[in-house]
Amino acid sequence: MTTDPSTQRSETFTWIDPAIALEKLPRLSGMDYFSGLREGSIAPPPIASLMKFDLVDARFGHVEFQCWPGEAHYNPLGMVHGGLACTLLDTVLGCAAHTTLDAGIGYTSIDLAVKYLRPITLQKDALHAEGSVVKAGPRAIFTEGRLSTTDGKLLATATSTLLVFPHQPGGK
């Protein structure tokens, strides 16, 4: 395909080496981690740059993020790809679980189930995502969350289950 240059688009995304924040992670409680993220002493992960979301609020068992989807996130059907909703909802659900953990305790998501209620298109205002812990047990944490427009229209809902364990990133 010879591409008409006028139809080409590009965008540059920037992030901080994630190994730096990762090295601190095992020594921080969940709430300390989110305090650091809000103050700027801990850098957000690379995916947050690519998907254009950031933390708005974190309390014990509950977090809120904002997101600004762009054309870079479009699928072939003329709307934002469902993967953006998944990425954002996986994030708020994982972070909601993380807020409840002491230093030295790791977690990993073992599933994510998303219901796509309405198509997501470009908005002048940010999308709003929130995640909450439904039940935190000694082995598993159950969470649920929602993605909405700024004026409160519900776009997607999700649930996720996470396992917790003494810190060793990535085990399942």
Among 57, 60, 83, 104, binds a second copy (CB under 8 A): 83
Binding mask 18-57 for a second copy (x = CB under 8 A): xxxxx--x-------x-----xxx-xxxxx-xxx------
Who contacts 69 (Cβ-Cβ below 8 Å, separation ≥6)? 51, 52, 80, 84, 120, 122, 123, 127
Binding mask 127-156 for a second copy (x = CB under 8 A): -------xx-x-xx-x-x---------x--
* 72 near a second copy (CB under 8 A): yes
* 165 near a second copy (CB under 8 A): yes
d(CA 20, CA 12): 22
What string of DSSP letters covers 96-159?
A: HHHTTPPTTEEEEEEEEEEEE-S-----SS-EEEEEEEEEE-SSEEEEEEEEE-TT--EEEEEE
The smaller minimum CB distance to a second copy, of residues 14 and 151, is found at 14
The smaller minimum CB distance to a second copy, of residues 109 and 123, is found at 109
Q: How far is the CB of 20 from a second copy (least distance, A)?
A: 6
